[in-house]
Amino acid sequence: MIFAYLILVLIFVPFAVGLTAFCFSGKPKKISVILFHRISNSLPKSLSEVSTKKFEKFCKEVKENKVCIAFDDGHKSVFDLAFPILKKYNLTATAFVASGIISDEKIDDFYSTKDMMSAENLKELSENSWEIASHSVHHLDLTLLNDNDLRKELEKSKYDLEKLIGKPVKSLSFPYGSWNEKVIETAKNCGYEKFIAYRKHKGEIIPTIAIFPFDDKNDMKNKISGEIKGLTKVLAVVIPHFAKGTPVFFWNKLYNFRKTLK
């Protein structure tokens, strides 16, 4: 019975939160960033994964539009599959990396963090005009951290990535799209200048939207142009609240990690 209740919570909570966000979202801002996570040669296994076939269709569409392409987390498929396709169309992207992958640290990811990019992969992307940016160290919800841990997550990620690629790291993507004013202020104090999130597009937050496995060609065109409406708009707001086990991160041991970061 307890297990059944837990399943209901996992389904209902993100849907309810996402639907509430949609109802109070107001007029959407023009989308500036199209966000991906993983690319796959096989049938996508999650909402955070799209096929190489769909990704190539997207690249064909995006060439004539002024939007940025971004990848969250740092999955190996970004280097192995997305990088060659983008190169084919003379496109580059931003990789928002949970920097713990560089030293093979445990990253908070509901689906799995197997097959992440290596330090050499990230350096090669940087050398090919990709922007390497921060997604924190451990991919934790930054709003749940105390002041000290929050600063460590942001400072260490920036420092480690800059040391790796030899370039400034100025951009930050919030894990789970979750942020508040304290997170923004701390990030600015750590030297970040640009912020992206797929929800709560207020003030200086750059609006982003994800491409899902079920998006067809028209959905992609509308998301690229910023003209999303109807069911596409509803799903664009609601579905991200299912991302990577958002309702279960409260029980993750990684949130008690004060001795993890030096």
pLDDT at 123: 98
pLDDT at 233: 61
Return the DSSP state at 211. P
pLDDT at 262: 46
Q: Are strands 194-197 and 94-97 parallel, antiparallel or unpaired?
A: unpaired
- Alpha-carbon gap, residue 166 to 170, rounded angstroms: 13
Q: What is the mean pLDDT of the chain?
A: 79
Domain boundary assignment for the chain = 2-255
Per-residue model confidence as pLDDT tens digits over 86-139:
999 999 999 999 999 998 887 876 555 678 999 999 999 999 999 999 999 998
CATH C-level class of 2-255: alpha beta
What does 29-88 look like in DSSP terms, one character per residue?
A: PPP-EEEE-EEESS---STTEEEHHHHHHHHHHHTTS--EEEEEETBHHIIIIIHHHHHH
- Alpha-carbon gap, residue 153 to 148, rounded angstroms: 9
pLDDT at 225: 74
pLDDT at 110: 56
Parts of the chain with a pLDDT under 70: 1-31, 64, 109-113, 199-202, 226-262
Q: Describe the crossing of helices 147-165 and 119-127 by its angle, rounded to 10 degrees.
A: 60
Is residue 208 a contact partner of residue 33, using CB atoms and an 8 Å limit? yes
pTM above 0.85, yes or no: no
Per-residue model confidence as pLDDT tens digits over 223-242:
777 666 665 565 566 566 55
Query: Quick one: which H or E segment has residue 247?
Result: none
Return the DSSP state at 258. T
pLDDT at 2: 52
